[in-house]
Amino acid sequence: MSVKIPYCMICGRVGVDLGRISGNEVALCPDCAEALMPKIEALVEAARGARRPARARAAEKITPEQFRERVAASVEKRGQLNVLEVAKRLGLPAPKAREIAEALAQEKGWQVEKAKRKLILRKPAPAPAPA
């Protein structure tokens, strides 16, 4: 068994092994690491400022009437829609979304398909044309 000595990828002196990146051995000597430190710290700060925390992205809030209009337009356009998913995205409680979906189904003659964590509002399939 042989001992593998890591060499700095910048200056070629004996360094500290940092592992493999894209199949290449990466090592740095203390002098090169010290010279790179301010730039690495600046990169970390820039990356930290660029990301927003997940909780900062709040759901868009809309009124039940606006939700009803959006759902109706979407079902008309696409033919079906998972109402609970849209309600979650837009910040509307699930019971209110179910109520709106049921009312739209009765009013427009659409079908409601209930599954676990889904409430799909679907336009009925068009009747085949008589031959």
pTM: 0.52
Q: How confident is the model at residue 37 (pLDDT cuts 50, 70, 90)?
A: very high
In this prediction, residues 19-24 reach a mean pLDDT of 89
3-state secondary structure the chain: CCCCCCECCCCCCECEEEEEECCEEEEECHHHHHHHHHHHHHHHHHHHHHCCCHHHCCCCCCCHHHHHHHHHHHHHHHCEEEHHHHHHHHCCCHHHHHHHHHHHHHHHCCEEEEECCEEEEECCCCCCCCC
Question: pLDDT digit string (tens) for 39-70?
Answer: 989 988 888 876 665 555 555 678 889 999 99
**All domains in the chain, ordered by first residue:** 1-50 (no CATH), 64-122 (1.10.10.10)
